[in-house]
Chains A and B, each alone.
Chain A
Amino acid sequence: KAGVTQTPRYLIKTRGQQVTLSCSPISGHRSVSWYQQTPGQGLQFLFEYFSETQRNKGNFPGRFSGRQFSNSRSEMNVSTLELGDSALYLCASSLTNYGYTFGSGTRLTVV
């Protein structure tokens, strides 16, 4: 079966711009979680969506937002980009929180 698909794979943006990242989960998985990974902070939880509702939220500023559609596809948006937002953004889908399947991530570089 198809895995978790994240698009785009790489992105370069300028400070102050906004960006939207997309994630298509494994078919049948209703939970989608987003993480930010940086060398200094590791994997930091952004938010989790389940059946179009945000079920959990991490400690990120309001510039970071997300949503989930009825087909379980999810998007995350970052507005007013800062240099510190440069990171690998990972999406994971699951049936339960006992094990995730991750996508390959979107590498965002803010210049």
Chain B
Amino acid sequence: TQLLEQSPQFLSIQEGENLTVYCNSSSVFSSLQWYRQEPGEGPVLLVTVVTGGEVKKLKRLTFQFGDARKDSSLHITAAQPGDTGLYLCAGAGTSYDKVIFGPGTSLSVIP
């Protein structure tokens, strides 16, 4: 059974600080996705990484896929209050597998 773990579970930081969120598994994934979810809404896709070692940047967000395709990280530079939300990683073993989600990291950025 594939499982995704995320750490930390909760994170509360001051505006302007940097942070990293981790997503780990003992299984290999064909792709990993990161989503952000706000209360009462569905998750919104931020990025998909498919190649081991891949790094993608989205403004102040940097995503990395581990070389072995078992883990990923999300780094936010100079966090802003608008970054507040639940960050979820998700992945599938193959292109036809179900997509499973990690438990999420709840981020609060204090002005």
User: CB within 8 Å of B: which residues of A?
Assistant: 4, 33, 35, 42-43, 45, 48, 55-58, 88, 90, 92, 96-105, 107
CB distance from A61 to the nearest CB of B (A): 17
Q: Which of B39-94 contact A (CB under 8 A)?
A: 40-45, 48, 50, 88, 90, 92
User: CB within 8 Å of A: which residues of B?
Assistant: 31, 33, 35, 40-45, 48, 50, 88, 90, 92, 95-104
CB distance from A66 to the nearest CB of B (A): 13
User: Are A42 and B103 in contact, CB atoms less than 8 angstroms apart?
Assistant: yes
Task: Tell me if B's interface is mostly helix, strand, loop or mixed.
Answer: loop
**Given that A43-B88, A96-B95 are contacting pairs, would A104 and B41 also be in contact in the complex, using a CB cutoff of 8 Å?**
yes
Task: Tell me if A's interface is mostly helix, strand, loop or mixed.
Answer: strand
Choose one: A35, A97, A104, A105; the contact of B97 (CB below 8 Å): A97
Q: Given the complex of chains A and B, what is the CA–CA distance between A102 and B102 in angstroms?
A: 16
**Given that A42-B103, A103-B42, A105-B41 are contacting pairs, would A98 and B98 also be in contact in the complex, using a CB cutoff of 8 Å?**
no
Known pairs A35-B101, A43-B90, A102-B42; list 6 more (Cβ under 8 Å): A42-B101, A90-B43, A97-B92, A97-B96, A97-B99, A104-B40
